[in-house]
Amino acid sequence: MSVRPTDEETLATLARDGYAIVPGVFSPATVAQLRSDLDRAIDAERAYHKGTDYRDFGMVMVCCTHARCFVDVLGEPRVMNVIEHLIGESSIVYAFTSSSMPPGRSNYSYRVHVDCPRLVPGYDTNAGVMMLLDDFTEENGATWILPGSQHTKEAPSEEYFFANAKRAVAPAGSLVYLNPRVWHSGGKNDTDRWRHAITLNMCRGYMKQRLDIPKMMAACGLDLTGVSAKAMQKMGFHAQVPESLDEYYQPPEKRKFRQSNE
C-alpha cells in the first residue's frame, strides 16, 4: 500500500527505535469523550472483579465492548495507516486494552517486557499503538522504552534497561506506535489522578484474537449501526471461522472469513 508523506518519518523512526511518537492526532473533544467512556469502563470492570485487588486493575480488557467511541477509533485512518503498512490491510485486533495507571501506584505493566513473544527476523506478526488520553509525564508514569531493542530476544537486565531507556513523554491526543518486540515498562504514577491511555495490539488477519471480539460485541449489545466497514473488519468480523458446512459454502460476500491475507 502507498505511504502518506506524513507517515514516512513515523515509519522510519519506528524501524530504527522500535517506537515513534506522533503528537496532535486527536482533538481535545475526542480525547475528553474517550477518557470519560474509559472511566466508566474501568468502573464496570471493577464491579466485575468485585473490587480493585486484581493484577490488571485499571486495564480494561476489550475497550470496544464498552462504548461506540472505541469502535470508531478502529476505522480512523490516522491510526490505522501506519499499522496497515506494517502488517497489511487485513490486520485485525489482537487486543484492545486500556493502559491506565491508577493514582499513587503502578500495575502489572511495571515490569520490563515485550507485547509479542515471537521474534521472526524480517517479519512483523503484530503492531501496536498507544492513544494518549492524558499528558504522559515522568511524574504520572510515562512508559519507559529501550530504543532499538526490538531485535533483542533476551530481556535486558533491569539495571541496563532503566539506565538506557527513554520515557514516552507526550501530550494528550498523541499516538505512540510501538513495535511489540521492543522492551518497555509502564511507569509509576506518583500523582493523585489517573493517567489514561488506550492501546491496540494488532495482528495479521490469519491469526487468532486474544478474545473472540465479534462474539463479545454481539453479547455486549452495543449498537453498531453505521459503523464503518473498516472498523468492522478490524474487529474481526471478516475473519471468523465458519461454524458449519452451511456457513462455509455461503457466497463469498456472505462468508464469515472473506478477507484477503497478506
Average pLDDT value for residue range 86-99: 96
pLDDT at 2: 42
Mean pLDDT of the chain: 93
Q: Which residues pair with 132 in a beta bridge?
A: 197
In a domain, 125, yes or no: yes
| Separation of alpha carbons 138 and 189, rounded Å | 8
Average pLDDT value for residue range 84-107: 93
In a domain, 17, yes or no: yes
Cα-based distances in Å from 117 to 73, 84, 102: 26, 21, 27
DSSP type of residue 55: T
pLDDT at 4: 53
As given in the structure block, the three cell numbers for residue 26 are: 486527536
Q: Which residue, among 193, 219, 237, 244, has the nearest Cα to 74 in the 3D structure?
A: 237
Residue 234 contacts residue 93 (beta carbons within 8 Å) = yes
In a domain, 260, yes or no: no
As given in the structure block, the three cell numbers for residue 210 are: 486474544
pLDDT at 26: 97
Tell me the per-residue pLDDT of 142-179, one tens digit each, with 9 for 90 and over: 999 999 999 999 999 999 999 999 999 999 999 999 99
pLDDT at 107: 77
Q: Which helix (H) or strand (E) holds 161?
A: helix 158-164
pLDDT at 262: 61
**What is the pTM for the complete model shown?**
0.93
Say which CATH number the domain at 73 has.
2.60.120.620
List CB contacts of 140: < 8 A, sequence separation 6 or more.
Answer: 101, 134, 187, 189, 190, 191, 193, 195
Q: Which residue, among 165, 145, 150, 166, has the nearest Cα to 116 in the 3D structure?
A: 150
Residue 1 confidence class, pLDDT cut points 50, 70, 90: very low
Residue 215 contacts residue 186 (beta carbons within 8 Å) = no
Question: What total number of domains does the chain contain?
Answer: 1
Tell me the per-residue pLDDT of 178-193, one tens digit each, with 9 for 90 and over: 999 999 999 899 999 9
Average pLDDT value for residue range 216-230: 96
In a domain, 261, yes or no: no
- Which domain does 38 fall in, by range? 5-254
Radius of gyration from C-alpha coordinates of the chain: 18
| Separation of alpha carbons 45 and 51, rounded Å | 9
In a domain, 89, yes or no: yes
Tell me the per-residue pLDDT of 117-144, one tens digit each, with 9 for 90 and over: 999 999 999 999 999 999 999 999 999 9
In a domain, 262, yes or no: no
As given in the structure block, the three cell numbers for residue 244 are: 458449519
Size of the chain in residues: 262
